[in-house]
Amino acid sequence: MATFGYTGRILTVDLSSRSATDVSTQDYADRFLGGRGLAAKIYWDEVSPEANALDPVNRIVFATGPLCGVPLIAGSRWTVCGKSPAVDRFSYGNLGGTWGAELKFAGYDAVAVHGRSDKPVYLFVHDGTAELRDAGDLWGKGAIDTREALQAELGQSAKVVAIGPGGENMAVMANVIADNDASGSKGLGAVMGSKRLKAIAAIGGGRRAQVAQPERLRQLLDQYRGLKRGFPYYDEAFYDVLCRFSRDTTTEIKMIPDTSARMKKQPCYGCQGKCPRRTYRAGDGGAGKFMCHSAYFYQPWAEQYYGEWNDVPFHATKLCDQYSLDTIAIDLMISWLHQCHEAGILTDQNTGIPISKLGSWEFIESLIRKISLREGFGDALAAGMDHAAEQVGPAAKGLVDNAGIVGEAGYNQPYGPRLYSTTGLFWATETRWPMYLLHEVATTVSKWVTWRMMGFGYFTSDLLRATARMFWGSEAAADFLTYEGKALAAKMIQDRGYARECLVLCEWLWPIVDLEFTEDHMGDPTMESKLVSAVTGREVDKEGLDRIGEMVFNLQRAILVREGHRGRESDTLPERSYTVPLEYDVSNAHCVVPGSEGEVISRKGAVVDREEFERMKDEYYQLRQWDVATGLQTRAGLEKLGLQDVAQDLEQRGLLAAC
């Protein structure tokens, strides 16, 4: 195949037999592009639905996309997929940093691993070759320490994805941690641990990506950079502020003391980094990732405990990365532990964890260590909050749904459907928090809120309606008081989002929903297809790209159905969405949305209307050409997308709609 955009090779590794073979990327790339699409296809072909996530037969697939390694596009993120022990279904993580680009420069578009080694190993990929090496000395080390040890051994240019003790001991919330502390969640670190695969190190030897049409790419990048220039959402200082948590950013801007000396931009490979991707330097000289949720998760508790800003939240984040535990799962668990402690169900004595000192370093250190090493009550926690609650008893179980992040009890659906009616369909059909889909809605509305409430920016009500027409299918999609137009909007956002996950483009900068330096400020939904065409030399237009996204979404749906998702019956929201009034959202503290004429509406106190949500599902299934009664896929719908083999498999299992 043409080498433009791809190395042409996928590495498959069987750890049981300690053998490795190459597979042609072309078998996958023509239809699935790369990233999630490529990984989902490997998974569909090779992982039986009966497989346990921690069985040797489970695959863990690390995949790049065709734009990976091309500078200035924000396209060098990469994906990790496999059956997740956290949800016992296929799931995925999307990571930044430079590991993906290095893998590609080392000669591979993706690595698919199965089997189980009889002793700890790491995989070393370089110069188009791969070798398994003993990792006995690394086993037990933290993920960051492992990375540093491998860099000391192989050279500082080595990029490493690794697990810490949480992954080794198969805690269901174990992450994979890569260079620049990039992390991928949903328990795929436990899958690495189950295979005794400590790390994958890649050295690319300074190679660079090959582009089919460099002049066309240069022109596109000039256009892209020029249009984005100076946009407030891409301002450096804006993101320094974002690293310190404020419950309400419209009334309270909190700066980290000595911000400019402590915060440093740390972009992914070749990216301009107009985003919150930051490292923090602590008072003791330690440095590491500190952005978005990973920076926030312990801040409210620590500030409450110590009464002032200090470095404990940073060290808490670093500790999670060392042990390779997912901060979102830990955040929810902390909230549940707190509530159980308040109710007198869990104590310092019966858990061996100083819950009474929540917010302190002592508490977080004890919690993370006990989970990772499965010590005492930590063993129950390592199996997940639901499992631990089951063990503790009904009263503790009753508090699980009220666990929330960033110190807000019950806040476990950011950008949720009580606030934005569109997002319910994302929450109902995905196996994890679908941030890359939610952000398109939440960020767009936030820009409008900024203009409408604070008089800042250019995102007027007219622009919002025009944007909704172009990106979400109708003006009705910009009226968040109704469910009208939301099914189409959800489908369009998902199809576009899945195409982006195949490329793998960063959702922080894509799609281009709006532009500052044009008269009408309208965005450009065609830029992704132009870029991939210029890089690969294979012409694809916007509609073609969306169609690939739709196909990959359907492939993933078929995987989930094969693994137990029951269509309509399973496309549900947590019960609290229908019964507990909305109080708060992290990006929109006053829960403000636009009505039909751009009027300001507060959704505080709102719940999801059960009947309207079911009607929205009807419409969504029709748009997807799924069976409305059951939510199962149809032969006609799958064949239209070229998924005849998938239809055949589902039919044989009795999982295709009868119509």
Interacting residue with ligand SF4 among 66, 93, 267, 497 (CB under 6 A): 267
Give min distance, CB of 275 to ligand SF4, in A. Answer: 3
How many residues of this chain bind ligand SF4 (CB under 6 A)? 12
- Alpha helices by DSSP H, 130-245: 143-154, 165-168, 188-194, 214-228, 236-242
Q: Closest CB to ligand SF4 among 74 and 548? A: 74
Give min distance, CB of 509 to ligand SF4, in A. Answer: 5
Burial of 536 (0-12, 13-18, 19+ CB in 10 A): buried
The verdict on whether omega for the bond into residue 581 sits within 30 degrees of 0, i.e. cis, is no
Interaction between residue 573 and ligand SF4 (CB under 6 A) = no
Whole-number Å distance between alpha carbons of 353 and 356: 9
Q: Which stretch binds ligand SF4 (CB under 6 A): 33-41, 168-176, 268-276, 415-423?
A: 268-276
The verdict on whether omega for the bond into residue 504 sits within 30 degrees of 0, i.e. cis, is yes
Burial of 572 (0-12, 13-18, 19+ CB in 10 A): middle
The DSSP code sequence of 267-323 is PPTT----SS-EEEE-TTS-EEE--HHHHHTTHHHHHHHHSS--SHHHHHHHHHHHH
Site string for ligand SF4, 460-499 (x = CB under 6 A): ----------------------------------------
Interaction between residue 100 and ligand SF4 (CB under 6 A) = no
Give min distance, CB of 270 to ligand SF4, in A. Answer: 9
Q: Which stretch binds ligand SF4 (CB under 6 A): 271-279, 317-325, 417-425, 484-492?
A: 271-279
Q: Closest CB to ligand SF4 among 74 and 656? A: 74
Q: Closest CB to ligand SF4 among 169 and 279? A: 279
Q: Closest CB to ligand SF4 among 474 and 587? A: 587
Whole-number Å distance between alpha carbons of 72 and 273: 9
Give min distance, CB of 176 to ligand SF4, in A. Answer: 17
The answer to whether 200 and 78 are in contact (CB under 8 A) is no
- Dihedral Cα 151, 156, 159, 163, nearest 10 deg: 20
Q: Which stretch binds ligand SF4 (CB under 6 A): 49-57, 273-281, 344-352, 363-371?
A: 273-281
Interacting residue with ligand SF4 among 31, 36, 59, 77 (CB under 6 A): 77
From the list 37, 334, 274, 294, the residue with the least C-alpha distance to 182 is 294
Interaction between residue 277 and ligand SF4 (CB under 6 A) = yes
Q: Closest CB to ligand SF4 among 296 and 411? A: 296
Give min distance, CB of 104 to ligand SF4, in A. Answer: 15
The answer to whether 98 and 49 are in contact (CB under 8 A) is no
Q: Which stretch binds ligand SF4 (CB under 6 A): 154-162, 505-513, 533-541, 577-585?
A: 505-513
Give min distance, CB of 487 to ligand SF4, in A. Answer: 29
- Listed in sequence order, the residues at least 6 apart from 245 whose beta carbon sits closer than 8 Å to its beta carbon are 254, 295, 296, 299, 300, 406
Amino acid at position 142, single letter: G
- Give phi and psi for 592, each to the nearest 5: -95, 135
Give min distance, CB of 587 to ligand SF4, in A. Answer: 17
Interaction between residue 275 and ligand SF4 (CB under 6 A) = yes
Site string for ligand SF4, 23-62 (x = CB under 6 A): ----------------------------------------
Q: Closest CB to ligand SF4 among 121 and 509? A: 509
- The pairing of beta strand 197-203 with beta strand 121-126: parallel
Interacting residue with ligand SF4 among 10, 39, 67, 74 (CB under 6 A): 74
Give min distance, CB of 97 to ligand SF4, in A. Answer: 8
Q: Which stretch binds ligand SF4 (CB under 6 A): 118-126, 214-222, 265-273, 409-417?
A: 265-273
Give min distance, CB of 267 to ligand SF4, in A. Answer: 4
Cα separation values, 267 from 201, 293, 510, Å? 20, 17, 16
- Listed in sequence order, the residues at least 6 apart from 255 whose beta carbon sits closer than 8 Å to its beta carbon are 240, 241, 244
Interaction between residue 268 and ligand SF4 (CB under 6 A) = yes
Per-residue tokens: 8 = 């042409």
Q: Closest CB to ligand SF4 among 68 and 143? A: 68
The DSSP code sequence of 474-515 is SGGGG-TTS-TTHHHHHHHHHHHHHHHHHHT--TTT-SEEE-
Interacting residue with ligand SF4 among 217, 271, 325, 428 (CB under 6 A): 271
Q: Which stretch binds ligand SF4 (CB under 6 A): 104-112, 147-155, 263-271, 486-494?
A: 263-271
Whole-number Å distance between alpha carbons of 626 and 120: 45
Per-residue tokens: 363 = 């508490």
Give the containing element (helix H, strand E) for 440: helix 435-454
- Listed in sequence order, the residues at least 6 apart from 16 whose beta carbon sits closer than 8 Å to its beta carbon are 56, 114, 115, 116, 117
Q: Closest CB to ligand SF4 among 478 and 509? A: 509
Residues 506-545 that bind ligand SF4 (CB under 6 A): 506, 508-509
Q: Closest CB to ligand SF4 among 512 and 607? A: 512
- Listed in sequence order, the residues at least 6 apart from 186 whose beta carbon sits closer than 8 Å to its beta carbon are 84, 86, 87, 91, 92, 93, 326, 431, 432
Q: Which stretch binds ligand SF4 (CB under 6 A): 254-262, 267-275, 326-334, 625-633?
A: 267-275
The answer to whether 602 and 592 are in contact (CB under 8 A) is yes
- Listed in sequence order, the residues at least 6 apart from 148 whose beta carbon sits closer than 8 Å to its beta carbon are none
Give the containing element (helix H, strand E) for 529: helix 527-536
Q: Which stretch binds ligand SF4 (CB under 6 A): 224-232, 314-322, 504-512, 567-575?
A: 504-512
Interaction between residue 95 and ligand SF4 (CB under 6 A) = no
The CA radius of gyration of the chain, in Å to the nearest whole number, is: 23
Give min distance, CB of 285 to ligand SF4, in A. Answer: 24
Q: Closest CB to ligand SF4 among 196 and 277? A: 277
Interaction between residue 273 and ligand SF4 (CB under 6 A) = yes
Cα-based angle 399, 401, 402 (whole degrees, multiple of 5): 65
Give min distance, CB of 506 to ligand SF4, in A. Answer: 3
Interaction between residue 96 and ligand SF4 (CB under 6 A) = yes
Whole-number Å distance between alpha carbons of 329 and 550: 29
Q: Which stretch binds ligand SF4 (CB under 6 A): 19-27, 63-71, 269-277, 555-563?
A: 269-277
Interaction between residue 104 and ligand SF4 (CB under 6 A) = no
Q: Closest CB to ligand SF4 among 117 and 180? A: 180
Q: Closest CB to ligand SF4 among 221 and 409? A: 221
Cα-based angle 375, 381, 384 (whole degrees, multiple of 5): 145
Q: Which stretch binds ligand SF4 (CB under 6 A): 266-274, 377-385, 486-494, 600-608?
A: 266-274
Residues that bind ligand SF4 (CB under 6 A): 74, 77, 96, 267-268, 271, 273, 275, 277, 506, 508-509
